[in-house]
Amino acid sequence: MGAIWFDKHDFADHLHEIVGYKSGVAASIEHMCDLLSGTGFDDEIVSSEERGIRIRSEDYDTLYYTLLHKIGVTDRPLDGIFEIFKISREMERRNGADFARSIQDIYRRHIEIETKKALQGGRKSLDPEGMIREAVQVHGKAGLDAIMTLIQGYDDLMKHSPHTAMKFHQYTEIVNLADLFEQYNPVAEKGVFLDQRFIDFLSNNLQKLGEIHWRKFEELTAECFQRFGYIVDLGPGSDDDGVDLRVWNNEKEGTPEFIIQCKRVKSKIDKVTIKGLYADVLHEGCKLGVLVTSSEFSVGARSTIEARSYPIKEVNKDSLAKWLKELRTPGSGIVRV
Domain that holds residue 15: 3-71
CB 3 within 8 A of CB 57: yes
Is residue 237 included in any domain, yes or no? yes
Percentage of the chain modeled with pLDDT above 70: 95
pLDDT in the model for residue 336? 44
247 and 145 together in one domain: no
pLDDT in the model for residue 282? 95
Is residue 172 included in any domain, yes or no? no
pLDDT in the model for residue 240? 60
pLDDT in the model for residue 334? 43
Is residue 176 included in any domain, yes or no? no
54 and 87 together in one domain: no
Read off the pLDDT band of 77 (50, 70, 90).
very high
User: Nearest CA to 83 among 63, 61, 101?
Assistant: 61
149 and 198 together in one domain: no
93, pLDDT greater than 70? yes
**Better pLDDT: 258 or 170:** 258
Read off the pLDDT band of 335 (50, 70, 90).
very low
pLDDT in the model for residue 329? 64
Read off the pLDDT band of 124 (50, 70, 90).
confident
**Better pLDDT: 283 or 1:** 283
Is residue 332 included in any domain, yes or no? no
310, pLDDT greater than 80? yes
Query: What pairing do the DSSP bridges indicate for beta strands 175-176 and 25-26?
Result: parallel
Cα distance between residue 203 and residue 323, in whole Å: 9
Section 202-222 average pLDDT: 94
93 and 201 together in one domain: no
143 and 202 together in one domain: no
24 and 56 together in one domain: yes
22 and 146 together in one domain: no
- For CA atoms 206, 207, 213, 218, the dihedral sign is positive
pLDDT in the model for residue 28? 94
Average pLDDT, the chain: 91
pLDDT in the model for residue 187? 67
Section 1-29 average pLDDT: 93
Is residue 284 included in any domain, yes or no? yes
Read off the pLDDT band of 186 (50, 70, 90).
confident
43, pLDDT greater than 90? yes
Q: Which residues pair with 6 in a beta bridge?
A: 53
198 and 90 together in one domain: no
pLDDT tens digit string along 292-308? 999 999 999 999 999 99
Query: How many domains does the chain fold into?
Result: 3
45 and 127 together in one domain: no
pLDDT in the model for residue 1? 62
pLDDT in the model for residue 52? 93
Is residue 113 included in any domain, yes or no? yes
149 and 203 together in one domain: no
pLDDT in the model for residue 125? 86
Read off the pLDDT band of 160 (50, 70, 90).
very high
- For CA atoms 158, 159, 164, 165, the dihedral sign is positive
- 10 Å CB burial of residue 229 (0-12, 13-18, 19+) is exposed
64 and 119 together in one domain: no
Is residue 181 included in any domain, yes or no? no
Is residue 137 included in any domain, yes or no? yes
Domain final residue pick, 50, 71, 92 = 71
Domain final residue pick, 71, 100, 115 = 71
HSE of 2, CA atoms in CB hemisphere, 13 A: 2
200 and 311 together in one domain: yes
Q: Any idea what the CATH number is for the domain that residue 311 is in?
A: 3.40.1350.10
